[in-house]
């Protein structure tokens, strides 16, 4: 199995620009999670989906963040407009029935 795939691996953008992060979960997994990791705040859950339906988005910091999962094999996390404080590593993880989570390699986002 290829594991969780994320793209891009690195993203550098200017403040105010739209950023879209992409994730392909492991085939057969029905739960998908978006996390943000920073030195200051550690690993934070932003949102998770079960069977393509958003279940808990209480971790989404503000309306500038949105996430979609149009089908079982693809999800996006969008930030519009981006701000320097959004700079972090964003991880996508998937699991089967919300048990052990398997993480992707992450997208390192830098907003200047």
Partner 1 sequence: QKEVEQDPGPLSVPEGAIVSLNCTYSNSAFQYFMWYRQYSRKGPELLMYTYSSGNKEDGRFTAQVDKSSKYISLFIRDSQPSDSATYLCASRYYMDSNYQLIWGAGTKLIIKP
Can you give the binding site for partner 1, defined by CB under 8 A? 4, 42-43, 45, 55-56, 91, 93, 98, 100-106, 108
Give 64 or 96: the residue with its C-beta nearer to partner 1: 96
Give 41 or 63: the residue with its C-beta nearer to partner 1: 41
User: Quick check: helix, strand or coil at residue 3?
Assistant: coil
Could you give the dihedral angle defined by the CA atoms of residues 49, 52, 57 and 62, in that order, rounded to the nearest 10 degrees?
Answer: 130
User: Quick check: helix, strand or coil at residue 86?
Assistant: helix
Q: Tell me how far, at minimum, the Cβ of 38 lies from partner 1, in Å.
A: 11
What values do phi and psi take at 23, rounded to 5? -145, 135
Give 76 or 81: the residue with its C-beta nearer to partner 1: 76
Q: Tell me how far, at minimum, the Cβ of 98 lies from partner 1, in Å.
A: 5
Q: Tell me how far, at minimum, the Cβ of 96 lies from partner 1, in Å.
A: 12
* Cα 15 from Cα 32, distance rounded (Å): 28
27 φψ region: left (φ > 0), alpha (ψ -120 to 50), beta (else) = beta
Give 42 or 70: the residue with its C-beta nearer to partner 1: 42
């Amino acid at each position: 199995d290829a594991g969780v795939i994320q793209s891009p691996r690195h993203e550098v953008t200017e403040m105010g620009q739209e950023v879209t992060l992409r994730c392909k979960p492991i085939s057969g997994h029905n739960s998908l999670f978006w996390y943000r990791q920073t030195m200051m705040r550690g690993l934070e859950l932003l949102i998770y989906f079960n069977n393509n339906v958003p279940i808990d988005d209480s971790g989404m910091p503000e309306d500038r963040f949105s996430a979609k999962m149009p089908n079982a094999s693809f999800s996006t996390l969008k930030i519009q407009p981006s701000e320097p404080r959004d700079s972090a590593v964003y991880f996508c993880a998937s699991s089967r029935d919300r048990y052990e989570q398997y993480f992707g390699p992450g997208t390192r986002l830098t907003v200047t």
